[in-house]
Chain A
């Protein structure tokens, strides 16, 4: 079946530090890959996505590249801000037929200190 493994948290960084959150996956076929973010007290919202190998998703200074050869989709940001403090979830979709289901990693809590 499908599975997503992302690095354990929590991750604590100082403002302007470089961020990497590792994510690897197991899936058959050609899944789409996503990063979702959950700010305190809120639901999840899509941060970025990539739908095929070598695609790069980007948004709000975050980037992730779909690497099929290493089955990875690592999240990076060059300079984090306090407002980036949140839980980050890596996810994949690999629908059987026309239905759409997401498989999530366990989430990584990021805290950015001023």
Chain B
């Protein structure tokens, strides 16, 4: 069974803390993604990576960074958490290649609250 696993379901952090959200996939996928999900806004892409050590900004990268040191792991970093980063964060992965075949698989999400 294919799997994308996010390290935490719920997190509460203080303003100004450095926060790490971890995501691991066991499908040997090249592409990995971080989205945030907010009511009324749907899913918005923060960053994605198409290879180890490679990354590209998505639509809302400000305040975030990412790390991909190994193929199976993609980390989202909030350098200095702020209350407007309170959200549901979703990790996803997919195969590299023609987009017709590249279904994305999602983790269960991490609900982050910044107080």
Residue among B42, B100, B102 making CB contact with A107, cutoff 8 Å: B42
Is B20 interfacial (CB-CB < 8 Å)? Answer: no
Structural contact, A104 and B42, CB atoms closer than 8 A: yes
Q: Kindly state the separation between the CA atoms of A99 and B29 in the bound complex, as whole angstroms.
A: 12
Structural contact, A102 and B104, CB atoms closer than 8 A: yes
Is B70 interfacial (CB-CB < 8 Å)? Answer: no
Shortest CB–CB separation between residue B111 and chain A, in angstroms?
10
Contacts of B99 in A (CB 8 A): 31-32, 93-95, 100
Structural contact, A98 and B90, CB atoms closer than 8 A: no
Q: How many residues of A contact B (CB 8 A)?
A: 26
Is A82 interfacial (CB-CB < 8 Å)? Answer: no
Contacts of B96 in A (CB 8 A): 98-100
Write out, one digit per residue, whether chain B residues 33-46 have a CB within 8 A of any chain A CB (1) or not (0).
10000001111010
Question: What are 14 pairs between A and B in contact, CB < 8 Å?
Answer: A43-B106, A43-B108, A44-B104, A45-B106, A46-B103, A51-B100, A89-B43, A98-B97, A98-B98, A99-B31, A100-B99, A102-B45, A104-B43, A105-B42
Q: Which 4 A-B pairs have the closest CB atoms?
A: A106-B42, A43-B106, A51-B100, A100-B102
Interface residues, chain A, CB within 8 Å of chain B? Answer: 31-32, 34, 36, 41-46, 49, 51-52, 89, 93-95, 98-102, 104-107
Known A93-B99, A102-B92, A107-B43; 20 more pairs at CB < 8 Å: A41-B108, A42-B108, A43-B108, A43-B109, A44-B92, A44-B106, A45-B106, A52-B100, A89-B42, A89-B43, A93-B102, A95-B99, A99-B31, A99-B50, A99-B56, A100-B95, A101-B58, A104-B43, A105-B42, A106-B42
